[in-house]
Chains A and B, each alone.
Chain A
Amino acid sequence: MRRFTLIAVPYLWLLALFLVPFGIVFKISLSDAALAIPPYTPTLDLSEGWAGIKALFAELDFDNFVWLTQDDLYWRAYLSSLQIALFSTLGCLLVGFPIAYGMANASESWRPTLMMLVILPFWTSFLIRVYAWIGILSTEGLLNQFLMTIGIISEPLQILNTNKAVYIGIIYTYLPFMILPIYASLERIDGSLLEAAEDLGCSRLQAFWLITVPLARPGVIAGSFLVFIPTIGEFVIPSLLGGSRTLMIGKVLWEEFFSNRDWPVASAVAVVLLLILVIPIVLFQRNEQKQREAEQ
């Protein structure tokens, strides 16, 4: 019984905050757009009782999902979002791992300060920090002025309103989500393991590769998920820093919702996005589980 209550809490959480909202979005994605409040049809009419529920299901169909396959806009937006998310995650990893490694190897007295410095930017609104990048990256911005003053470039670089600015904004914003889990796993590594490896004839580089990297793996995986998943649906950063040629699924979804007033197609876009994220993650975790069982 106690075990049951223990499991019940997380499952209830999942049910209330994931499955129920997903069910609502999925139902809307099977509806048709209408000029009404709310702007889709059919809606659930409980006064009709069982007959009303049956009538509701009779009217639902998969037309909106078929529609998504008919215009290449959607799959190109998905692909370009996947690409941006993938490269941003790699970028965060390349920048974040050395920072986390440095933090974990700093002296005990320094670590709280370093940790503080990583968290400090969160004290300012995310929106203001992204706006600040506009001031840095624009053609008359700080970066271009600096580079032109020291004579590296003679013409200002066009960074703002391109994908470069989107990458910079995403990597900057999500970096702490990569650093913190990696730091957590690096910090736990027992220093005597590395000493033992060196005693047994490993070079420092070999010891790093054979001991530190495998033990940091859980942190790297957690960090990558924390960056990759929100990035793929990112809307604010591409709309502020990107140009009109930056194609991301978050923007397409916004247009369906606001410009076309087509909640059903917008919901279908969201459902497909969720499937694109959930299926690989579930497969990946199952694979991890199997490996772990095989090792034991």
Chain B
Amino acid sequence: MKKTLVPAALALAVGAGAAFAEEVRVYNWSDYIDESLLTKFEKETGIKLIYDVFDSNEVLETKLLAGSTGYDVVVPSGTFLQRQITAGVFQPLDFSKLPNAVNLWDVIKERTAKYDPGNKYSINYMWGTTGLGINAEKVAEVLGEDAPVDSLALIFDPANMEKLKSCGVHILDAPVEVIPAALAYLGEDPDSQDPDVIAKTEPVLTAMAPNVLKFHSSEYISALANGDICVAFGWSGDILQARDRADEADNGVTIEYYAPKEGALMWFDQMAIPADAPNPDGAHKFLNFIMDAENMAAASNYVYYANGNKASQEFLEEDVIGDVAIYPDEETLKNLYTTSPYGPKVQRVVTRLWTKVKSGS
């Protein structure tokens, strides 16, 4: 669930002007790959790669359900993928064309099987957690040295938020991420599908909302890095990218990422091939290329997200594989939870609750 600065999908044709016999169209999250991999794929296979990007699961899903997207490979997140499989959006993968599938990591495959039983339709691209990104100095200044930076109380306890308001808080504009977190904070099951249980988050969220500078799913990367805000509830890799940018800018801003101790959402972005893909054969070649250990490692080293590729781990840089914020240790792993897709009735309750929280009505 990766979003970036560019809110509109921008098309990026990678072709260097050479003549290609066939082409494959990939639709991935924005800023989610090392772009040198794209030209490498074209050189190795002789297939022209058309690489487009999107920035929300909802946009991708609406296109897929309208049909005939023209894309050969798409990258929905687990819960969305599950619903799309039910709707008949994807074709089963032909593993005889995917020899590199042996590189996949069992630990992740077990978890993604919840969304794609038997892992028949998809392979894991990257995964991560949703948690708290903080500007260490500013938070200490406002809340003191013993601020609960590893707890959801940081954003859900009004006593903290009223103080943090002065230095700026961003929250993901994604109810499917924030509501499970609020449930975890309240000690309820984060994966609850019961409208009455979900309704319990309303007082918590409406108390938080007036102190939130912005509900947005990508602006927090640069806002954190520039020191414009002091807390963001966002995706792990994005916050680590902000940490990296602040380090490079050497602007005195120190960003830290914490997976909340009450539990953090673990999500998976899965590559799959639409049933009506124009070039399923080329799509399989692309998936096989991505599952190559070195290629996958290059992508992770670039975007600071963990991947579902066991063989790639020996090529990962130390600041990726050695960082518990990216590859959690056993302790943190126990604290991670996953969610299931909401049914249409519950989805409506969730969207309505979210509108009420954000608009105050």
Chain A interface (Cβ within 8 Å of chain B)? 33, 35-39, 71, 73, 76, 127, 161, 244-247, 252, 255, 257-262
Q: In the complex the two chains form, is B360's CB within 8 Å of A261's CB?
A: no
With contact pairs A260-B348, A260-B351 given, residues A37 and B87 touching in the complex (Cβ less than 8 Å): yes
A–B complex contacts, Cβ < 8 Å, 27 sampled: A35-B87, A36-B87, A36-B88, A37-B64, A37-B65, A37-B66, A37-B88, A37-B89, A38-B65, A38-B67, A73-B355, A73-B361, A161-B214, A244-B359, A245-B359, A247-B361, A255-B351, A255-B355, A257-B62, A258-B61, A259-B354, A260-B344, A260-B351, A261-B62, A261-B65, A262-B344, A262-B348
* 6 tightest A-B CB contacts, nearest first: A244-B358, A258-B58, A39-B65, A37-B67, A259-B351, A35-B87
Q: In the complex the two chains form, is A261's CB within 8 Å of B344's CB?
A: yes
Inter-chain pairs besides A76-B361, A261-B347, 14 sampled, C-beta below 8 Å: A36-B65, A37-B64, A38-B65, A244-B214, A245-B358, A247-B359, A247-B361, A255-B351, A258-B56, A258-B61, A258-B62, A259-B175, A259-B347, A260-B344
Q: Please indicate the chain A residues that have their CB under 8 angstroms from the CB of B209 in the complex.
A: 244
Q: Please indicate the chain A residues that have their CB under 8 angstroms from the CB of B86 in the complex.
A: 35
B180 to chain A, nearest CB (A): 16
With contact pairs A39-B65, A76-B361, A247-B361 given, residues A260 and B8 touching in the complex (Cβ less than 8 Å): no
For the complex, what is the distance from the CA of A39 to the CA of B83, rounded to whole Å? Answer: 12
Q: Tell yes or no: B105 within 8 A of A by CB.
A: no
For the complex, what is the distance from the CA of A21 to the CA of B64, rounded to whole Å? Answer: 21
Q: Please indicate the chain A residues that have their CB under 8 angstroms from the CB of B347 in the complex.
A: 259-261
Is chain A's interface secondary structure helix, strand, loop, or mixed overall? Answer: loop
Q: Please indicate the chain B residues that have their CB under 8 angstroms from the CB of A35 in the complex.
A: 83, 86-87, 344
Q: In the complex the two chains form, is B61's CB within 8 Å of A261's CB?
A: yes
Q: Tell yes or no: B21 within 8 A of A by CB.
A: no
- Beta-carbon contacts under 8 Å, B22-64 to A: 56, 58-59, 61-62, 64
By beta carbon, the residue of chain B nearest A127 is B8
Q: Tell yes or no: B327 within 8 A of A by CB.
A: no
Q: Tell yes or no: B315 within 8 A of A by CB.
A: no
For the complex, what is the distance from the CA of A127 to the CA of B66, rounded to whole Å? Answer: 25
A55 to chain B, nearest CB (A): 21
Interface size class of B (residues with CB under 8 A): 20 to 34
Q: Please indicate the chain B residues that have their CB under 8 angstroms from the CB of A73 in the complex.
A: 352, 355, 361
Q: In the complex the two chains form, is B344's CB within 8 Å of A33's CB?
A: yes
Q: Tell yes or no: B215 within 8 A of A by CB.
A: yes
Q: Please indicate the chain B residues that have their CB under 8 angstroms from the CB of A262 in the complex.
A: 344, 348
Q: Please indicate the chain A residues that have their CB under 8 angstroms from the CB of B66 in the complex.
A: 37-38
Q: Please indicate the chain A residues that have their CB under 8 angstroms from the CB of B351 in the complex.
A: 255, 259-260
Q: Please indicate the chain A residues that have their CB under 8 angstroms from the CB of B61 in the complex.
A: 258, 261
Q: Which of B61, B67, B83, B361 lies at the interface centre, i.e. has the most chain A CB atoms within 10 A of its CB?
A: B361
A35 to chain B, nearest CB (A): 5
Q: Please indicate the chain B residues that have their CB under 8 angstroms from the CB of A257 in the complex.
A: 62
- Beta-carbon contacts under 8 Å, B326-361 to A: 344, 347-348, 351-352, 354-355, 358-361
Q: In the complex the two chains form, is B352's CB within 8 Å of A245's CB?
A: no
A124 to chain B, nearest CB (A): 16
For the complex, what is the distance from the CA of A259 to the CA of B86, rounded to whole Å? Answer: 18
Q: Please indicate the chain B residues that have their CB under 8 angstroms from the CB of A260 in the complex.
A: 344, 347-348, 351
By beta carbon, the residue of chain B nearest A72 is B361
Q: Please indicate the chain A residues that have their CB under 8 angstroms from the CB of B62 in the complex.
A: 257-258, 261
For the complex, what is the distance from the CA of A262 to the CA of B347, rounded to whole Å? Answer: 10
For the complex, what is the distance from the CA of A76 to the CA of B88, rounded to whole Å? Answer: 37
Q: Please indicate the chain A residues that have their CB under 8 angstroms from the CB of B56 in the complex.
A: 258
Q: Please indicate the chain A residues that have their CB under 8 angstroms from the CB of B359 in the complex.
A: 244-247
Q: Please indicate the chain A residues that have their CB under 8 angstroms from the CB of B87 in the complex.
A: 35-37, 39
B170 to chain A, nearest CB (A): 12
Q: Please indicate the chain B residues that have their CB under 8 angstroms from the CB of A247 in the complex.
A: 359, 361
Q: Please indicate the chain A residues that have their CB under 8 angstroms from the CB of B360 in the complex.
A: 245
B116 to chain A, nearest CB (A): 16
A75 to chain B, nearest CB (A): 12
For the complex, what is the distance from the CA of A166 to the CA of B33, rounded to whole Å? Answer: 35
For the complex, what is the distance from the CA of A38 to the CA of B68, rounded to whole Å? Answer: 10
For the complex, what is the distance from the CA of A106 to the CA of B88, rounded to whole Å? Answer: 65
Q: Please indicate the chain B residues that have their CB under 8 angstroms from the CB of A161 in the complex.
A: 214
Q: Please indicate the chain B residues that have their CB under 8 angstroms from the CB of A244 in the complex.
A: 209, 214-215, 358-359
Q: Please indicate the chain A residues that have their CB under 8 angstroms from the CB of B352 in the complex.
A: 71, 73
Q: Which of B8, B215, B344, B360 lies at the interface centre, i.e. has the most chain A CB atoms within 10 A of its CB?
A: B344
By beta carbon, the residue of chain A nearest B276 is A37
A156 to chain B, nearest CB (A): 13
By beta carbon, the residue of chain A nearest B360 is A245
